[in-house]
Copies of this chain bind each other. A is one copy, B any other.
Amino acid sequence: MKLSALNPAGPERRPQLTRERVMAAAIELADREGIESISMRRLAQELGVEAMSLYTHVRSKNDLLDGMADAVISQVPVSAEGAGWKASLRQLSLAARGVMLRHPWAPRIVEAQATPGPAALQYVNGVLGILREGGFSITQTHHALHILGSRLLGFTQALFDDSGDLEPEAAAALASALGASHPYVVEMALAVTHGGALGRCDDDAEFEFALDFLLDGLARMQSG
């Protein structure tokens, strides 16, 4: 059937598929339904197209995921000029964290990327520039990269996720089940829970604290 005959140059023709449109739809779908719901068929359906049509704009599913990762990274503003290396890195890292919080699936695929895409390269170049212009030697800059690690991209792999807020009964159950064998875990879990000594674990504040801890250490490393 000839659509164009029915709708000759009609304005309701769906727009051309492009790599950008594919990436945007994939990111939107991942935001809405989770990264696990990304499949070629599902994504194609989202675009009103058949699965194989995507392969005109994307080499493979891995290429799609790489593209998504790079597109997310490109959302982090890399500017932040003229504020000193410490403030610049701080702002950059927090901005990246904001982006990652909007795309919770992103860290996983960003770190799965084999080779950095254009946006990642641009980003790394920006970070390196801030440090070098800030007076860090090449060796110091190299160390700083390893020290800051993924925090520069706004995320951290914690040893375990302690941001959950236990119900009192769950806390009691945990205490009696693990209390004998894992006293320190129980102590920390209770402290982090709302009833405990600390407030509820505020991930944002904790991220910021750790970031400042690292930046202060780097400042000491540079001057010492």
Chain A residues close to B by CB (< 8 Å): 108, 111-112, 116, 120-122, 124-125, 127-129, 132, 138-139, 141-143, 145-150, 152-153, 156-160, 162, 178, 181-185, 187-188, 191-192, 197-198, 201, 206-207, 209-210, 213-214, 216-217, 221
Contact = CB atoms under 8 A, between A and B. Distances in A.
A149 to B, nearest CB: 5
Contacts of A132: 184, 187
A160 B116 contact: yes
Contacts of A197: 138-139
Given A152-B159, A182-B121, A217-B213, A146 B206 contact: yes
Contact of A184 (B128, B146, B210, B221): B128
Question: Chain A: interface secondary structure?
Answer: helix
A200 B214 CA distance: 25
A178 to B, nearest CB: 7
B143 A184 contact: no
A33 B43 CA distance: 30
Each complex incorporates copies of this chain amounting to 2
Contacts of A120: 160
Given A185-B124, A197-B138, A153 B159 contact: yes
A178 B124 CA distance: 13
Contact of A201 (B141, B142, B148): B142
B125 A182 contact: yes
13 contacts: A120-B160, A121-B182, A122-B182, A124-B160, A125-B181, A128-B187, A143-B206, A143-B210, A146-B206, A149-B149, A152-B159, A213-B221, A217-B217
A67 to B, nearest CB: 17
Contacts of A149: 149, 156-159, 210
A216 B183 CA distance: 27
A143 B160 CA distance: 13
Contacts of A129: 183-184
Contacts of A187: 128, 132, 138
A147 B213 contact: yes
A221 B220 CA distance: 13
